[in-house]
Amino acid sequence: MIHKSMMNRNGILNAFILSALFTLASGPVMEAVADPVAALVLAEQTAIPVDASSVDVRITDTSPRDYPYVGSRAPIPYDQAIRAWAAQRFTLTGQSVNALRVTLRQGTITEKLLPITTGISGWFKKEQGAEYQGTLDVEIAVVGPNGNVLGTADAKSWASESVVENATQADKEKAWMNVTKTTFDNLDRDIIPTMRKTMAAYLR
């Protein structure tokens, strides 16, 4: 009985050790982002008050989702990121029946594989293996109750980041997240001044 009990204990211990080793070998796994608004930390933290009582976020981007397009696999895909950005960027005064319309015309991340040194000489080098290029195109509009557009502003931005060869999935997801954030930061630098010119009557 004692011998059998020890065997059972050893079996459980071995299973635990194997499970732990498998977890370590698998590397870190990035969890899905539960709160995109909190995760998308923007350089510009000031919200813009708009004379509107509702927000209408539209996705008109028809870009492919197959390779080399990888944006749909990012921690915050652009169709979620645009909503997180709008929630941080604007506040509604509720002083009118106008609607604030935010349209994502393009939000993509593509992968470009980079050439690396092959052969024996490549064994001693740690090179960049891929570059991720992000493109963001957004239009903002204040729309009256009859559907008439009262003011618009739009902008397009780009960002890129590379990862080393044989990068882990976590490394890639971190790069995609950085590209997403940077495209929105770059967008802000263009679209906010434009809004203050073309939509000044509806901003506070």
Residue-level pLDDT, tens digit, the chain, 204 residues: 434 333 343 443 333 333 333 233 333 334 557 788 889 999 999 999 999 999 999 999 999 999 999 999 999 999 999 999 999 999 999 999 999 999 999 999 999 999 976 655 555 567 789 999 999 999 999 999 999 999 999 999 999 999 999 999 999 999 999 999 999 999 999 999 999 999 999 999
Nearest CA among 175, 164, 67, 171 for reference residue 117: 164
Asked whether residue 153 is domain-assigned, the answer is yes
| Residue 59 token pair | 């996705």
Asked whether residue 85 is domain-assigned, the answer is yes
Asked whether residue 139 is domain-assigned, the answer is yes
The whole-number pLDDT of residue 76 equals: 97
- One-letter amino acid of 37: V
Q: What is the CATH number of the domain that holds 62?
A: 3.30.160
Nearest CA among 98, 25, 21 for reference residue 56: 98
DSSP letters along 14-56, please? HHHHHHHHHHHHH---PPP-S-HHHH---S--PPEEES-SEEE
Q: By residue range, what is the domain housing residue 167?
A: 35-202
Domain count, the chain: 1
Q: How many CB atoms lie within 10 A of CB 129?
A: 16
Asked whether residue 2 is domain-assigned, the answer is no
What 3-state class would DSSP assign to 161?
strand
Asked whether residue 71 is domain-assigned, the answer is yes
Asked whether residue 110 is domain-assigned, the answer is yes
Asked whether residue 7 is domain-assigned, the answer is no
Asked whether residue 5 is domain-assigned, the answer is no
Please give the Cα distance from 181 to 75 (Å, whole number).
11
The whole-number pLDDT of residue 143 equals: 98
Please give the Cα distance from 135 to 40 (Å, whole number).
16
